[in-house]
Amino acid sequence: MAYRTEGLAERMTTRAMNDDDRWAAVLRRDRSLDGQFVTGVLTTGIYCRPSCAARHPKRENVRFFADAAAAAATGLRACLRCKPDEVARDAEAVARAVKMIEASESPPSLDTLAEAVGYSQFHFHRLFKRATGVTPADYARARRAGQMTQSLEREARVTDAIYDAGYSGPSRFYEDAKQRLGMTPSAWRNGGAGVTIRWTVADTALGRMLLAATDRGICRLSFDEDERELKRRFPNAEIVEGGAALDRLVRGAVAAVERPAQMPELPLDVQGTAFQQAVWRELSRIPPGETLSYAVLAARAGRPKAVRAAGTACGQNQVAVLIPCHRAKRGDGSLGGYAYGLDRKVELLKREGAA
């Protein structure tokens, strides 16, 4: 499923933030919040982006505005260093590019997109990734993969689903599938048909942990579950207990649970929409011992208003701890929910040294 693109610039709002949040963003020069508000400095008479590299003003001299127009209406002028008026133009350029990608049967090249919106390739590539969390090519692949998943659910034949999703032919789909789907398209549509999933249960400091993996990587890490949950999720897969291939993955997963601040690199076989993948990517970027609100996760994933959807993406995470959804919390600072109980979430954060 692709991102919503209508009114991309208008979605960069400040409703989920208060002035303390905005000031904290200014102090850390948070580029992900550029476009969500501007900082007015009364003593200098200018307004800036949150990420402006200029020396920070005193807090008592700062006022926050929803956008550049609101700041200019009070008599302030744009900072010549960070050029906050260009944010709206950048957002519109990304929105236009997204519409081009979604309207095209075959993904347009980076050169085509950049030329259409009036930017250099290098600058636009960086701009697009900062705004959406993915590159233009990744966005196009994720969109088609999402369409493919939907098509597989309604089409009787895999070939029909491939063309319905916008691929020029089966070879192009399978080229993308090697990077995106851990299962063949038939297996995806048929509940894991033809796929072998090996599983085991191990004792950890947080209780009994279920670990399941395909040949590509870990597809499920959970607590208080057993083989029945795997059969529910993959009713047509071959579910096999144990196996030497699991030993290394189990050791790594147990280490991740015991010492989440030292997360090992483990192969994963998980699927999600483009937005879910963007949220999971941002979760993995949060340093151990720190947390982010669902609102900030949504903004960094490219959809500032999709706060609830960001929370849902955390809840649909198939590999607890490895994708650290325990580092997400509500905007008011409370921990929110956790699929395996708040006690485990508290313990994971404690082990990471979080306040």
The residue assigned the tokens 């959970």 is 222
The DSSP 8-state label assigned to residue 301 in this structure reads T
The residue assigned the tokens 């789909």 is 173
The DSSP 8-state label assigned to residue 41 in this structure reads E
Strands 292-293 and 218-223: unpaired
114 phi/psi in degrees, rounded to 5: -60, -45
CA nearest neighbour of 324 among 284, 272, 268: 284
Residues facing 319 on adjacent strands: 221
CA distance 91 to 235: 44
Instruction: Answer yes or no: are the C-beta atoms of 302 and 132 closer than 8 Å.
Output: yes
Helix (H, G, I), strand (E, B) or coil at 323: strand
CA nearest neighbour of 345 among 207, 196, 153: 207
CA distance 190 to 181: 14
199-222 as b/e, with b when 16 or more CB fall inside 10 Å? Answer: bbbeeeebeebbbbbbeeebbbbb
User: What positions carry a catalytic annotation?
Assistant: 48, 325
CA distance 282 to 244: 33
Quote the crossing angle between the two packed helices 121-132 and 136-154, to the nearest 10°.
50
Strands 196-204 and 77-78: unpaired
Angle, vertex CA 26, rays to CA 21 and CA 30, nearest 5: 90
